[in-house]
Structure 1
Amino acid sequence: MVKLNKKYFLLFCVFYAGFVLPNKTDSLLLLLKTDKEDSTKVNHLNALSWELKYKNIDTAIQLAKQSLLLAEQKKFEKGFGKANSILGAYYAIQGDYDLALKHHFTGMKISEKLGDKKACAASYGNIGVVYRNKANYPEALKYYFKALHINEELKIKKAIATNLGNIGVVYMNELDNEKALEYHFRALKIDEELNFKSGIGRHFDNIATVYYHQLKFAEALSYYRRSLKLREELGELTEACKTTGNLGSVYREMKDYDSAIFYYEKTLVFAKKSGLKKEIALTTGNLGEIYDLQKKYALAEKYLTESLLLFKGQGSLDDEMKFEKAISDLYHRTSSYKKSLEHYKNYTRLKDSLFSTEKNKELTRHEMNYGFEKKESAMKAEKEKNEAVAKAENKKQKILIGLTVSGLLLMAITLAVIYRSLRITRKQKTIIEKQKEIADEKQKEVLDSIYYAKRIQTALLTNEKYIARVLKAKQS
């Protein structure tokens, strides 16, 4: 009976969230009504949970848990891994980083086992987000670059933009604003090409935050407002909540404290409705700092103390460090020196932990390793390209050589034919000339015979005339 009521309550929450949601949510709800208890239902539960992540995170978590249980029962590893990754993302949003890492590492191991590179990259990126929120920047950067390496290999542009943006956030937290802007604008360019509005809004927020750190308040307000407009259009209330908080911070730096309090209180309401633990703690601390600036010390102490208590259970060391310093300064101004020293020691301990020399070395090493891997990949690609060009050139050379040999062979055959013809002609000429010589010789012999006969005949005629004269003389 309890399970039945829980099921109806969950469906009520989903339908309530679905009144103003896109058709994809409605379609998934209809499919779930007719789904059997199998892998298809697991996939639909995961998809619906993810659709609700910015609208109703509590309902989204319940759907992911339901998917996790069903996937485990049906031994559907891929769906089980996906559900773990989704839950990891939600617990990270709520500030429960240890539980988030537990689910993310479970999802990662399954993806690695299945050889699903795309899912592995998603897990690496999610783990990086949690480590970033825990202010463990070396580990965050390590996993971000692992994710980026795979997504570049797979050419998944949307994921590449996300990875670049996340790396930019780490550099922003390390106060390397120029490098942070470089990564954020690279990410923005990709999502603008894809017209991925949710990603564009995220990059607007990140760019605005860097400008805020650079004290370029006009630019910061411009990008935050552009982000808020997109968030409201898309119905991404969780992200809109963060953006309003950031607007409050800009107005605080501009010393427009009334506007700052307005946006912080608005943020606090949204955060409590959405169950965003980190945002609740952060905004509570921000309000404490504003009241301190207004010299409303009792209110300032109340909000800062409450904020630190909320952060203690979350492990968000950078934010905890910030408010330890704030309350230490407050107690110093109000002459509570013992309390001031106590909180200053806490601040120093956290600062040393966050920005140790070793961690900075690790940051550099991870980027260098990634740069080396990227360079190695580029060299490999260039080598393959050169080999392909060489292969094509070799093939071309073989064709040219073949054509040349064929041409030479044809020429040789032609010359042989011509030579043979010349030889035959020359031989025939020799025979003809020899025959002519023989004929000439025969002709000469005939002529000689004729001439000889003629000479004989002439000689005979001479003798006859001579005899006749002699006889005639005698007769006289």
Structure 2
Amino acid sequence: MKYCFLVLGFFLFAVSPSQNRQIDSLRVLLKADKEDSNKVNNLNKLAWELNSGNSDSALILTDEALVLSRKINWQTGIGSTINQQGIFYAMRGDFPKSLTSFLKALEVWNSLGKKAGPVRKARTLGNIGNVYTNQGNYAEALFYSLQSLKISENIGEKKSTATNLGNIGLIYWHLKDYSKALDFLTKALKQNEKIENKPGIGQNLGNIGILYVEQHQFEKALDYYMKALAIRKELNQKNEIAIQLGNIGNVFYELKDYSQALQYDLQSLKIASEIGDKTQTAIVLGNIGQVYTQKKNYSEAEHYLMKALSLCDSIGILAYKMQHEHSINELYILKGDYKNALKHYQRYVATKDSISNEANLKKQTQTEMQYEFDKQQTADSIRNDVQVKEELLKHNQALQQQKIYTFGGTIGFILMLLVAGISFRAYSQKRKANAIITEQKLLVEEKQKEVLDSIQYAKRIQNALITSEKYIERKLTEIKKQH
């Protein structure tokens, strides 16, 4: 199977490339510029414009910008220029130099603190993560990429957010978690489409195409690759054009359309050679060798495969060397040259063993990373459980308190009813007693009245009797006087 190579994760840059800005006009501006920050910015802009076609000139210009930034003690210029140099080194496949540049830029931003601004720091963090991805250090890659994503989201920097989403998708691609990879890349694509970021759209389309290749959905992959290539051509991004042409060649190879595969591979080789991209050149040379092998043009196949091996040895890319050693081994078997076939098979095994040792280290790193993820998820889970338990406890306490209030209210209500009942009963009894007392009082009063009436009656009788006696006595006295 032909080696399918990955489009590099997208780097975050401070200088916005603009095809509308003419290189000549920048050079005119530089001639008139004073030794100040404007000249630093224009040097970096011109370096970016020249980067696709003339890498040496681009680096020379950034060196000049760096010297001037230090001369005028402009720390922001120093950080931005070093960050841009890191991108240029990464585009050339020189990841050790690229990482060194990005880490130096990060030191500048950290020393400036808030003066640096969150955008610059987020870009550099994302670039560091991208380098670690390409070096196979996925734990560090995810660590820096997530930091960059967090800052970008917090400040509403949509372009950087999209870039980080895409780069995190590539990390999961390397970890063979294609579901998560596609999820992040799709989110990145939608974000870039919203802000009409064409370079980002091209990057996302190409990387989604690679995911479909991994899943042997070649027609879908070809569709995404073609869309990505159209955007790269529109933007005149030569590095990316070379990569997309090579990827399209790979798909046609898998579809056994070797004529189409050769056509796209040769176009990729031409551009990669022109811009000095040695890694891409080494890959495509080997791929062309494989195409010629399938077309049974063994002399051409041997020519391209040997050139690919030589270049792989010179730049030290073991993964591609292993693939090409295996391809030339198969070629010599087809030619009946078993001596050379054995020699290259032994080299293939030796290279594979070297990669296996590196892979073991990567696997250990991935295991450690997974451990950290699991630990974090466990911590989050425990924290959530504690929170849920606390909320449940509060809820239960509230329910218990409510029950107490309800129970107390019920008891109070019952007691109130009892008191009311007792009071009513006492009142009823008192009322009844009062009625009896009143009745008895009335009876007594009636009896008293009867007695008093009797006494009065007797008294009246007595008075009547007394009156009669006095009358008799008076009459007797009168009679005596007459006699």
TM-score normalized with structure 2 length: 0.69
How far the C-alpha of 1:326 sits from its partner, in A, is 1.7
How far the C-alpha of 1:328 sits from its partner, in A, is 2.7
1:321-400 pair list within 5 angstroms: 321-356=322-357, 358-372=360-374, 374-375=376-377, 378=380, 382=384
CA RMSD of aligned residues (A): 5.1
Give the Cα separation in 2 of the matches to 1:388 and 1:45: 59
Give the Cα separation in 2 of the matches to 1:79 and 1:376: 43
Q: 1:467 aligns to what? A: 470
Give the unaligned 5+ runs of structure 2.
1-16, 154-160, 406-453
Could you say which structure has the greater relative contact order, defined with CA pairs below 8 angstroms and 6 or more residues apart?
Answer: 2
How far the C-alpha of 1:461 sits from its partner, in A, is 6.7
Q: 1:143 aligns to what? A: 140
Give the Cα separation in 1 of the matches to 2:84 and 2:172: 23
1:1-32, Cα deviation, whole Å (9 max, x unpaired): xxxxxxxxxxxxxxxx97x4269x99988986
1:110-167, Cα deviation, whole Å (9 max, x unpaired): 445556776566445434544554xx42x2x122211233134335332431332320
Preserved CA contact (<8 Å) 1:32 1:41: yes
1:254-300, Cα deviation, whole Å (9 max, x unpaired): 22222112111211222233332222222222222222222222222
Preserved CA contact (<8 Å) 1:217 1:254: yes
Give the Cα separation in 1 of the matches to 2:47 and 2:32: 17
Preserved CA contact (<8 Å) 2:139 2:366: no
Give the 3-state SS of the residue equivalent to 2:98 in structure 1.
helix
Give the Cα separation in 2 of the matches to 1:308 and 1:22: 40
Give the letter for the 2:174 counterpart.
V
Q: 1:93 aligns to what? A: 91
1:66-465 pair list within 5 angstroms: 66-114=64-112, 122-123=123-124, 125-133=126-134, 136-137=135-136, 139=137, 141-154=138-151, 156=153, 157-171=161-175, 176=176, 179-195=177-193, 196-356=197-357, 358-372=360-374, 374-375=376-377, 378=380, 382=384, 462-465=465-468
- Relative to structure 2, which stretch is displaced further, 121-130 or 455-464? 455-464
Give the 3-state SS of the residue equivalent to 1:295 in structure 2.
coil
Size of the alignment, in residue pairs?
Answer: 421
1:81-123, Cα deviation, whole Å (9 max, x unpaired): 3322321221222233343333233334444555677656644
Distance 1:96 1:360, change over 3 A: closer
Preserved CA contact (<8 Å) 2:133 2:171: no
How far the C-alpha of 1:465 sits from its partner, in A, is 3.5
Distance 1:339 1:103, change over 3 A: farther
Distance 1:454 1:160, change over 3 A: farther
Distance 1:159 1:267, change over 3 A: closer
- Relative to structure 2, which stretch is displaced further, 63-72 or 302-311? 63-72
Preserved CA contact (<8 Å) 2:125 2:148: no
How far the C-alpha of 1:47 sits from its partner, in A, is 5.5
Distance 1:237 1:75, change over 3 A: same
1:32-51 pair list within 5 angstroms: 36-39=34-37, 41-43=39-41, 45-46=43-44, 49-50=47-48
How far the C-alpha of 1:224 sits from its partner, in A, is 0.8
1:332-351, Cα deviation, whole Å (9 max, x unpaired): 43344443333323322221
Give the letter for the 1:313 counterpart.
S
Give the 3-state SS of the residue equivalent to 2:315 in structure 1.
coil
1:26-65 pair list within 5 angstroms: 36-39=34-37, 41-43=39-41, 45-46=43-44, 49-50=47-48, 57=55, 60-65=58-63
1:372-392, Cα deviation, whole Å (9 max, x unpaired): 4652674598589879989x9
1:224-251, Cα deviation, whole Å (9 max, x unpaired): 1121122233333321221111111111
**Overall identity of the aligned pairs, in %:** 28
1:414-459, Cα deviation, whole Å (9 max, x unpaired): xxxxxxxxxxxxxxxxxxxxxxxxxxxxxxxxxxxxx999998986
Give the Cα separation in 1 of the matches to 2:126 and 2:206: 19
Preserved CA contact (<8 Å) 2:290 2:301: yes
Preserved CA contact (<8 Å) 1:58 1:274: no
Q: 2:451 aligns to what? A: none
1:148-205, Cα deviation, whole Å (9 max, x unpaired): 331343353324313323203423xxxx3xx135313322223313424333322222
1:347-384, Cα deviation, whole Å (9 max, x unpaired): 22221222346335324324314524652674598589
Q: 2:411 aligns to what? A: none
Give the 3-state SS of the residue equivalent to 1:313 in structure 2.
helix
Q: 1:21 aligns to what? A: 20
Preserved CA contact (<8 Å) 1:251 1:260: yes
1:3-14 pair list within 5 angstroms: none
1:298-340, Cα deviation, whole Å (9 max, x unpaired): 2222222222222223232211221122223323433444433
Give the unaligned 5+ runs of structure 1.
1-16, 405-450
TM-score normalized with structure 1 length: 0.70
Distance 1:460 1:387, change over 3 A: same
Give the Cα separation in 2 of the matches to 1:229 and 1:365: 39
